């Protein structure tokens, strides 16, 4: 078996691993990046489906994501704004559809007051706790041992307000039911985006897209790294010790290096064998992190028909199968594209149906927001990351109830020569491409500091 010798070996060619590799290479450190798939980009993947260019994975960039913006500049990539002109649509729990403008849903006065009050509370908590070390805050244990659903029930007895606020974090971000993660985890999600108000403002959080697609970020970094990126090379075994690592991957690859960056989500760490085994703390911690589940639905039409009706394409409803829908038309494209999301338990339910029946139900749900033309797309595609062997869910991994304050402080701590880097353990930009980039940079700095 031929052996490669490098200063640092990186496992995973997603945005985090490639950022780490790029920064290390720029500092004169030799690298090899081993990627399981036949492409780079990980959870970012811009593909052509039936003649339509689709963002199968991560795509949006928000104004606070400055690490990603700087990288886009460095790589010569431009952004464009999401189409948002026109009225949005809200469907209430009884199925009543209302067109509206502005940030807050057109709900009754009491529900509106309650939503504003709870959002203000969450903004305060988020500002106080911050994204870097939420586990270190005096309220960490209290907030981490109650589910977000339970915490919301303590704050307000207005069910519509609770469900709408739950929608932003549960269906909208962590893609787990609000009973399955803690209030502290919800605060981290908001803190990583700057504030809870940012998280609930779609014009902020879903602001820009990359012309040519988000996967270009990884493709351009990989192009610069050239022959040091190895595809179809799932890493199976990592031998590690004081002197460094020896890595074994498919394709008859053996790499010796001083240090290693494990740039895969924590849910996949246990797909690799470690010799000697990782410490007890890692074994335990990684069992408390899991992926959410969401179906990202793409529907392409000959024209963006909703715009002619004065609609922006944006729709929300905690009661609908498709809880959120947006205009996702590509840059300079005459056709119109919608993207919708079916999250967690609703995704379970429709995955139990035939593909035809699932499509029918999903399009019928989008039609309730934007009109009957929505049922007749020329291209229809469901991103199904739960079925992807090298991801196994979407969008990202988070701790179960109580896990964040119990284990969070150790998630970024290296084990010997092994460093951990991915968006799922980021502070700012947590669960986003920006967080993946920040973690890549942070890990590269830590490695350079050791040399």
Residues forming contacts to ligand FDA in the complex (CB under 6 A) are 11-17, 34-37, 42-44, 57-60, 234-235, 263-265, 268, 271-272, 296, 383, 385, 390-391, 394-396, 422-423, 431-434, 436
- β-pairing verdict for 311-316 and 324-327: antiparallel
CA torsion sign for 23, 28, 33, 38 is positive
Kindly state the smallest distance separating residue 108's Cβ from ligand FDA, in Å.
31
Kindly state the smallest distance separating residue 99's Cβ from ligand FDA, in Å.
25
Q: Give the closest residue to 99 by CA, choosing from 107, 91, 88.
A: 88
Kindly state the smallest distance separating residue 131's Cβ from ligand FDA, in Å.
14
Which contiguous run of DSSP H or E holds residue 20? helix 15-26
Task: Tell me the backbone φ, ψ of residue 21, rounded to 5 degrees.
Answer: -60, -40
Kindly state the smallest distance separating residue 61's Cβ from ligand FDA, in Å.
7
Are 198 and 190 in contact, with CB atoms under 8 Å apart? Answer: yes
Q: Which residues pair with 339 in a beta bridge?
A: 298, 326
Which region holds residue 430: left if phi is over 0, alpha if psi is between -120 and 50, else beta? beta
Which contiguous run of DSSP H or E holds residue 143? helix 140-144
Tracing tokens 């798939």 back to the chain, one arrives at 37
Of 107 and 295, CB closest to ligand FDA:
295
Of 33 and 107, CB closest to ligand FDA:
33
Of 58 and 315, CB closest to ligand FDA:
58
Contacts of 153 (CB under 8 A, 6+ apart): 162
Of 175 and 365, CB closest to ligand FDA:
175
Kindly state the smallest distance separating residue 36's Cβ from ligand FDA, in Å.
4
Kindly state the smallest distance separating residue 247's Cβ from ligand FDA, in Å.
9
Contacts of 349 (CB under 8 A, 6+ apart): none
Of 296 and 368, CB closest to ligand FDA:
296
Of 359 and 432, CB closest to ligand FDA:
432
């Amino acid at each position: 078996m031929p052996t490669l010798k490098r200063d640092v070996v990186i496992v995973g060619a997603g945005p985090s691993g490639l950022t780490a590799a790029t920064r290390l290479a720029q500092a004169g450190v030799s690298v090899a990046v081993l990627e399981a798939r036949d492409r780079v980009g990980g959870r970012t993947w811009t593909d052509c489906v039936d003649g339509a260019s689709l963002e199968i994975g991560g795509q949006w960039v928000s104004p606070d994501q400055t690490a990603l913006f700087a990288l886009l500049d460095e790589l010569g990539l431009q952004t464009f704004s999401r189409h948002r002109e026109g009225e949005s649509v809200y469907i209430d729990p009884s199925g009543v559809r209302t067109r509206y403008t502005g940030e807050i849903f057109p709900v009754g006065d009491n529900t509106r007051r309650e939503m504003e009050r709870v959002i203000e509370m969450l903004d305060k908590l988020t500002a106080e706790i911050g994204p870097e070390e939420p586990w270190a805050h005096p309220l960490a244990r209290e907030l981490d041992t109650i589910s977000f659903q339970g915490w919301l029930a303590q704050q307000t007895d207005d069910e519509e307000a609770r469900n709408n606020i739950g929608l932003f974090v549960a269906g909208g971000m962590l893609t787990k039911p609000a009973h399955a993660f803690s209030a502290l985890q919800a605060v981290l999600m908001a803190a990583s985006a700057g504030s809870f108000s940012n998280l609930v403002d779609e014009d902020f959080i879903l602001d820009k897209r990359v012309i040519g697609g988000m996967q270009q970020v990884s493709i351009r970094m990989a192009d610069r790294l050239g022959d040091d990126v190895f595809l179809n090379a799932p890493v199976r075994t990592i031998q590690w010790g004081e002197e460094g690592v020896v890595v074994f991957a498919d394709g008859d690859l053996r790499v010796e290096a001083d240090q290693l960056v494990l740039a895969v989500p924590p849910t996949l760490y246990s797909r690799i064998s470690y010799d000697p085994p990782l410490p007890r703390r890692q074994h335990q911690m990684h069992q408390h992190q899991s992926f959410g589940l969401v179906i990202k639905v793409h529907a392409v039409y000959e024209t963006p028909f909703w715009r002619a009706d004065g609609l922006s394409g944006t729709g929300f409803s905690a009661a609908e199968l498709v809880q959120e829908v947006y205009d996702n038309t590509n840059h300079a494209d005459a056709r119109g594209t919608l993207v919708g999301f079916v999250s967690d338990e609703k995704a379970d339910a429709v995955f139990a149906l035939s593909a035809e029946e699932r499509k029918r139900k999903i399009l019928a749900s989008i039609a309730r927001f934007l009109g009957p033309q929505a049922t007749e797309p020329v291209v229809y595609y469901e991103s199904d990351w739960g079925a992807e062997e090298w991801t196994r869910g979407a969008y990202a991994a988070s701790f179960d109830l109580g896990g964040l304050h119990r284990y969070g402080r150790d998630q970024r701590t290296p084990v010997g020569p092994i460093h951990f880097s991915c968006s799922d353990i980021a502070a700012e930009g947590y669960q986003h491409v920006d967080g993946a980039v920040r973690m890549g940079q942070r890990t590269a700095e830590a490695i350079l500091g050791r040399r």
